[in-house]
Amino acid sequence: MALCIKKFYFAYKIFKGMDRAYLEIIFLCGMVLQIILRSYYGQYYDPGENKRYFNKRERLYLLFIFVGFQLLPLMYVFSTWFAFLDYNLPKWMGIPAALLYSFGVWLFFRAHSDLGKFWSPGLEIKEDHQLIKTGVFKWVRHPMYAAFVAIAVAQIFMLQNWLIGPAFLLSAIPFYLQRVKREENMLIKKFGGDYLDYMDSTGEVFPKPGSIEIRIPTKFPRIFRKK
């Protein structure tokens, strides 16, 4: 128990002294991890006769997202071109920002994992397609977009620049508004009333109030019990 407390205090001291450089390193590590995760699942994707379906507008929006989430942040971290637009936030804000960012990366991975073979890079319904309502899909219908929201908000606090900070959030909004409507119409057409019921019980990217149950254990683990 004492060792756990010491480890927690050590982690707290690291986060307390976290400055912009540490936040930028964490951000870059998360970016690389997401690319690796997407590449890993991409190698198992079999398009078959279907094509990766993005219309012209979505391709343009995806270009904006690439610029806002990858190109501009990389230019910001490895150059001083945008330094005149920097702002400074209290150091303690690095703690929730890093945690939110880590949660977004984890959620990004879980969304891919829970979809399994039904994941595809574009809008696609496979012949044996099933409606996934387990894992993180139990709480939200679009956990991958929820991950983008978490990461985009965290970017504002981790890359403290008036241009770079909100770049991902602003570039992702048009894509989200365009994509989700088409995706849900496609799923309604495929699954009908089953998907409509699923929509009633879940939120798009945020869980509906009261949908998440917090269970408080009534029994303490054995290590905390008196002998």
Write out pLDDT tens, residues 90-140.
Answer: 888 888 999 999 999 999 988 888 887 777 767 777 777 888 888 888 888
Within 8 A by CB and 6+ apart from 68, the residues are 167, 168, 169, 170, 171, 172
Q: Domain for residue 69, yes or no?
A: yes
Looking at residue 182, its pLDDT comes to 84
Q: Using one digit for the tens of pLDDT, what is the confidence trace for 177-212?
A: 878 888 888 888 888 888 888 888 888 888 877 655
pLDDT exceeds 60 at position 4: no
**Is 73 part of any domain?**
yes
Q: Residue 159: inside a domain, yes or no?
A: yes
Q: What is the DSSP string of 133-170?
A: -SGGGGTBS-HHHHHHHHHHHHHHHHS-BTTTTTHHHH
Task: Report how many domains make up the chain.
Answer: 1
Q: Which of 105, 127, 104 is nearest to 117 (CA)?
A: 127
Structural domain range at position 93:
9-45+53-208
The alpha-helical segments, DSSP class H, found in 67-137 are 72-77, 94-115
Token pair in block for residue 72: 């501009």
Please give the Cα distance from 132 to 129 (Å, whole number).
Answer: 9
CB-based contact 160:20 (threshold 8 Å): yes
Does residue 215 fall inside a structural domain? no
Residue 217 lies in a domain: no
- Give a yes or no: residue 190 inside a domain: yes
State the chain's maximal CA–CA distance in angstroms: 68
- Is this prediction's pTM over 0.85? no
- CATH number of residue 165's parent domain: 1.20.120.1630
224 within some domain: no
The answer to whether residue 72 is domain-embedded is yes
pLDDT score, position 12: 47
